[in-house]
Amino acid sequence: MKRRPAFATAAAVTALLLLATAAAAAPPSPPPGSSRPYLDKAFTNLRTTPEAAPVQYGAAPPIDPTIGPGDPFRRPLDPSGNEILNLWATIPQDNEATDRPAIILVHGGGFRGGIGKAFPLLEGMEDYASRGYVLVSIEYRIDTTSDCQAVQDYTGDPTDPDYLAMRAQCERGILAAQQDTQAAVRWVRRNASRHGVDPNKVAVGGFSAGAVTAANVAYNSDLAGDFAYSRGDDPDADSRVQAAFGSSGCNYDPTTIGPGDSPTSFIASELDSLVDYDDCVVPSFRTARERGLVAELRSYCGSRLHASRLYQAHQVATDRQWTTFLVREMGIYSGMRPPSALGFCP
C-alpha cells in the first residue's frame, strides 16, 4: 500500500477511532440451529431500489471522450459536466439489526463496457442479501474507446508510443473504477445509520473488471484521490474496506500491496484468457501473503471459465469460501475456519 502524506482529517480520525472500538469487542459465536445470519439464507423479505430510480452517490469528470451529445448509452451529466454515478441497493427488511454488514458490488466489462450491469448484479448476488447483508451495486466511469485487453495481450515493443498511449488510457480507466468505488465506500459510511449498516463492516466484491477493482480497493485504500464526488464527501475520509472478494481478478501492480491492507478471498481459472493467471493472479496473492495479509485464492487448474461462469460452476464451494471469509474478517462471528492459503496451479 503506497502511503499518503502523514496528516489526517477529523473524519479520518473519527473513522480510525470507530475501527479501534469495533476491534476491541470480541465477536460472538454463530448461533446454534439451522439458520445462522450472514452464513445461511435466513431472510426472505428483500427490498430493492427500483431499476428506474437509482440513488446518486456522486459525480466525477468523464474519462470517455464519446460521452455527451450522441452518447449511445445516454450517460447523464450534472450541470458542471461531471458524469453522474448511480447505485442500487437490496436490503433485507426482515433483518432488523442496526449494525448490518454491507457489500459493495462492482460489475465487469473490461473497463470499457458494463453499462447497465449494476442492477442485474444485485439479482445474481441476491443470496447474500438473503443471508442478511445490505447489498449495494454501483455504476462507475468507463471508457468505451479503451482496450485494456489489448494492453494485457501486447507482445511488441514496450517503448512503442502507440502502446504507451493505449496503456496510459487503460490505466486511467482502472484508476477511475477504483476511486469511484472508494467514493461509494465513503457514501455507504456516511449513510450507514439510515440503512442500519455498521460503518466498520464494509466489503467490496466483483467479477472480472469488478474483481480487479475489488483487489485495487483492498490494496490502495490511501490512494483515493483528492476529488469530492458529492456534497459532504471527503476524499481523505476512510476508504478502507474490511474485506474484498471476487472471481477472476488480481492487482496488476503488486508493488502497491503492503502490511495493513485489506484481506482478500478470490477464485480464478488457470487458463483464463481475460485475466492472466501466471502474470497477475499468482504474483498478487503471493505478494499479499509475503506481506502478512490474508489472501485466499482457490485456483481451478485446467479451467478456462471466467468471472460469473466460474462462480456459477462452483457456487456452493465459493459461497462457503466467501461467507466464512466475510464473517471472520468483518468480525461478525468467532470460531470460524482459519484463513486458507491454498497452493497455486503447477
Q: What is the pLDDT of residues 258-307, one digit of tens each?
A: 999 999 999 999 999 999 999 999 999 999 999 999 999 999 999 999 99
Residue 57 scores a pLDDT above 70? yes
C-alpha to C-alpha distance for 204 and 322, rounded to whole angstroms: 12
- Three-point CA angle 84, 244, 168, nearest 5°: 55
Residue 343 belongs to a domain: no
> Is 9 inside any structural domain?
no
- Please, which residues have CB within 8 angstroms of residue 229's CB and are 6 or more apart in sequence? 57, 58, 59, 60, 85, 180, 183, 186, 187, 235
Whether 36 maps to a domain, the answer reads no
Structure confidence by residue, pLDDT tens digits, 176-205: 999 999 999 999 999 999 999 999 999 999
What are the backbone dihedrals phi and psi of residue 120, each rounded to the nearest 5 degrees, phi first?
-60, -30
Q: Is residue 334 a part of any domain in this protein?
A: no
| Amino acid at residue number 208 | S
Instruction: State the DSSP code for 203.
Output: E
Report the alpha-carbon distance of residue 217 to residue 214 in Å, rounded. Answer: 5
pTM, to two decimals: 0.92
Does residue 153 sit in helix, strand or coil? helix
Report the alpha-carbon distance of residue 274 to residue 255 in Å, rounded.
22
- Burial (CB < 10 A; 0-12, 13-18, 19+), residue 92, is buried
d(CA 200, CA 100): 10
Q: Is residue 148 part of a domain?
A: yes
Q: Evaluate if residue 13 carries a pLDDT over 80.
A: no
Residue 181 lies in a domain: yes
Closest Cα partner for 246 from 282, 285, 210, 292? 210
Q: Inform me whether the pLDDT recorded for 8 exceeds 80.
A: no
Within-domain flag for 235: yes
- How many structural domains are present in the chain? 1
SS3 33: coil
123 located within any domain? yes
Domain of residue 250, CATH code:
3.40.50.1820
Domain of residue 117: give its range.
47-329
